[in-house]
Chain A
Amino acid sequence: MKQGSRLSTMKKSTKANGITYLMLLVAFAVVQIFTATGSMTNLIKGLLVPACIYIIMAVSLNLTVGILGELSLGHAGFMCVGAFASSFFSVCMRDVITSEWVRFPIAIIIGGVVAALFGFVVGIPVLRLRGDYLAIVTLAFGEIVKNLMNVLYIGKDDSGFHFSLKSAADLGMEPDGKVIVKGALGITGTPRDSSFIVAFILVVITIFVVLNVINSRQGRAIMSIRDNRIAAESIGINITKYKLMAFVVSAFFAGIAGVLYSHNISTLTATTNNFGYNMSIMVLVYVVLGGIGNIRGSIIAAVILTVLPELLREFSDYRMLVYSLVLIFMMLFSSSPAMVNFREKLSLKTKRSKGKKAKEAV
Chain B
Amino acid sequence: MFKKILSVLMVVAMVACLFAACGGNEDAGKSDATTFQIGAIGPTTGDAAIYGQAVMNAAQLAVDEINAAGGINGVKLEFKAADDEHNAEKSVNAYNDLKDWGMQILLGTVTSTPCIAVVEEAYNDNMFMLTPSGSAVDCIRYDNAFRVCFSDPNQGIASADYIASQKLGTKVAVIYNSSDPYSSGIYEKFMAEAAVKGLNVVAQGAFTADTKTDFTVQLQQAKTAGADLLFLPIYYQEASLILAQADKMGYDPAVFGVDGMDGILTLENFDTKLAEDVMLLTPFAADAQDKLTQDFVNSYKAKYNEVPNQFAADAYDGIYIIKAAIEKSGATPDMSTEELCNALKGAMTQITVDGVTGLGMTWTADGEPNKAPKGMKIQNGAYVAM
Contact = CB atoms under 8 A, between A and B. Distances in A.
Interface of A: 4, 7-8, 15, 19, 22-23, 26-27, 30-31, 34, 38-47, 50, 143, 147, 150-151, 167-169, 183-186, 188-189, 192, 261, 264-267, 269, 271-274, 300, 307, 310-311, 313, 316-317, 319-320, 346-347, 350, 353-354
B11 A41 contact: no
Interface string B129-144: 0000000101000000
A147 to B, nearest CB: 7
B249 interface: no
B3 interface: yes
Contacts of B25: 41
B83 interface: yes
A147 B2 CA distance: 51
A317 B44 contact: yes
B208 interface: yes
A272 B16 CA distance: 33
A23 B114 CA distance: 34
Interface of B: 1-4, 7-8, 11-12, 15-16, 18-26, 28, 44-46, 81-83, 85-89, 92-97, 99-100, 113-114, 116-117, 120, 136, 138, 178-181, 184-185, 187-188, 191-192, 208-210
A19 B7 CA distance: 9
B18 A267 contact: no
A7 B180 CA distance: 58
Closest 4 CB pairs of A and B: A42-B96, A267-B116, A46-B96, A266-B120
B208 A273 contact: no
Contacts of A310: 93, 97
11 contacts: A26-B12, A30-B15, A30-B16, A30-B19, A43-B93, A44-B22, A147-B179, A147-B208, A274-B87, A346-B3, A354-B2
Contacts of A26: 8, 11-12, 15
Main SS of the interface on chain B? helix
B120 A192 contact: yes
Nearest to B152: A185
A23 B11 contact: yes
A30 B12 contact: yes
Nearest to B119: A266
A47 B15 contact: no
B184 A300 contact: no
A34 B21 contact: no
Nearest to B26: A38
A332 to B, nearest CB: 18
A169 B174 CA distance: 16
Contacts of B179: 147, 150, 184
A41 B23 contact: yes
A42 B99 contact: yes
A269 B83 CA distance: 19
